């Protein structure tokens, strides 16, 4: 088990990605992902952050990445852990869980 808190950032938008018509919204994906990680890694700290790509916070890294999502036409929501894209469009739990395990998270 880890005591380190990893920040998981989900970049999304209110409107659906044009290529993601039948998928849940970015906010719904954020809530689903937060619940799934909490169940998989109970009592292990993590921080979920939602960033609206069209209204990013005034933090240079998050603002720059939000701009990148728009400019590179990435399929959002985009899930990022430690500057690494681990999910895009319809993120896969297996990929996200695997990345967290690299940082010492243990499934229960």
- The predicted-structure confidence for 41-82, as pLDDT tens digits, reads as follows 999 999 999 999 999 999 999 999 999 999 998 989 999 999
Average pLDDT on 25-39 reads 95
pLDDT at 15 over 90: no
Domain boundaries, the chain: 6-101
pLDDT at 4 over 90: no
On whether the 6-101 domain is CATH 3.40.30.30, my answer is yes
Instruction: Classify burial at 43, counting beta carbons within 10 Å of its beta carbon; exposed 0-12, middle 13-18, buried 19 or more.
Output: exposed
Higher pLDDT, 54 or 19: 54
Average pLDDT on 1-8 reads 85
């Amino acid at each position: 088990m880890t005591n380190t808190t990893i920040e998981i950032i989900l970049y999304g938008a209110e409107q659906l990605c044009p290529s993601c018509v039948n998928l849940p919204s970015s906010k719904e994906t954020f809530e689903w992902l937060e619940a799934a990680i909490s169940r998989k890694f109970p009592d292990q700290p993590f921080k979920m952050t939602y960033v609206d790509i069209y209204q990013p916070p005034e933090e240079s890294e998050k603002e720059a990445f939000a701009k990148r999502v728009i400019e590179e036409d990435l399929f959002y929501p985009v899930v990022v852990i430690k500057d690494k894209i681990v999910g895009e469009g319809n993120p896969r739990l297996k990929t996200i869980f695997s990345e967290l395990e690299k940082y010492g998270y243990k499934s229960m």
